[in-house]
Amino acid sequence: MAEQEGTTLTTAPPRGDLGRRLAARRAELNLTRGETAARAGVDPGYLAYLEGHPGAAPNRGTLLSLASALETTVSALTGGDVDLPPGPGLAGHDPKFTELSRTECGDLLSTHGVGRLGVSSSQGPVIIPVNYTVVDGTIVFRTARGTTPSLALGSSVSFEVDRIDDAFSQGWSVLVRGHARLVTDLGEERLLAARVYSTPWAGGRRNLWVRIEPYAVTGRRITV
């Protein structure tokens, strides 16, 4: 049963692309639908309509208001930047660069998602994205033999996650260096299967569990 409109972060799953992006951005900012509607100056019921109807087509002014309320861009809300790398915006005024503490790095890493794995290959260093989860302080992902991520096994690797906010020209990045090992214990595999956030987006049979045990973790943040 759906809870009250102004107190929940999500209710029924959004159906359209715009709806999914609106709800996802609200969740990132920890905003309820009512709070978002108040920020944007729209009715909460209309916001619910936008999130729940794939054919919803708000006007440009409404999109601009929603983008401002959600601290993002119209392009990001409508999927116009889906094939673009992050960071096309101009540098912000008076940026501030800070080093992140180990605790801050751990907090950002533990949000899970997609990270960039750096491995060595016969043709030189390679960087590829992988879905990951943090379990007991280690980075865990699944792959298959013969794939590029499987080159990590038994090696020292790098792993990077970041978040770029194009609307405000700010963001953060965390870099992990560690040793990657193959998980061979069946009990450990079952534990990881129960605790990982997502299956690999690439699909297919990816039954090799890899743990990266960090020996160095650093991070930085740029704010305006």
Question: Within this chain, do residues 145 and 43 fall inside the same structural domain, yes or no?
Answer: no
In terms of C-beta density within 10 A (0-12 exposed, 13-18 middle, 19 or more buried), how is residue 44 classed? middle
The answer to whether position 185 is within a domain reads yes
Angle between the N-to-C axes of helices 17-29 and 44-52, in degrees from 0 to 180, rounded to the nearest 10: 120
Half-sphere exposure of 214 (CA within 13 A, CB side): 20
Average pLDDT over residues 183-191: 86
Report the C-alpha gap between 30 and 174 in whole angstroms: 22
Domain limit, last residue, from 45, 78, 111: 78
**Model confidence band, residue 9 (pLDDT cutoffs 50, 70, 90):** very low
Q: Dig out the tokens for 24 from the structure.
A: 């996802």
- Assess if residue 85 is contained within a domain: no
Same domain, 102 and 178: yes
Domain end (from 78, 108, 124): 78
In one letter, which amino acid is 222? I
156 and 105 co-located in one domain:
yes
Would 4 be classed as within a structural domain? no
DSSP 8-state code for residue 182: E
**Domain CATH number, residue 35:** 1.10.260.40
Give the total number of structural domains in the chain.
2
Q: Which domain holds residue 33?
A: 17-78
The two three-digit tokens of residue 174, written as one number: 């965390």
Q: Please tell me whether residues 122 and 216 are part of one structural domain.
A: yes
- Tell me the residue type at 130: V
Say yes or no: 38 and 120 in one domain. Answer: no
At residue 143 the predicted structure's pLDDT band, cuts being 50, 70 and 90, is very high
pLDDT band at 141 (very low <50, low <70, confident <90, very high): very high
Q: pLDDT confidence of 80, banded at 50, 70, 90?
A: confident
User: How much of the chain, in percent, has pLDDT values that exceed 70?
Assistant: 86
Shared-domain flag, residues 39 and 146 = no
Residue 185, classed as helix, strand or coil, is: coil
Determine the 3-state secondary structure of 68 from DSSP. helix
Same domain for 130 and 219, yes or no, is yes
Same domain, yes or no: 74 and 121: no
CATH number of the domain enclosing 120: 2.30.110.10
Percent of the chain with pLDDT over 90: 46
pTM of the model: 0.69
**Is pLDDT larger for residue 88 or for residue 199?**
199
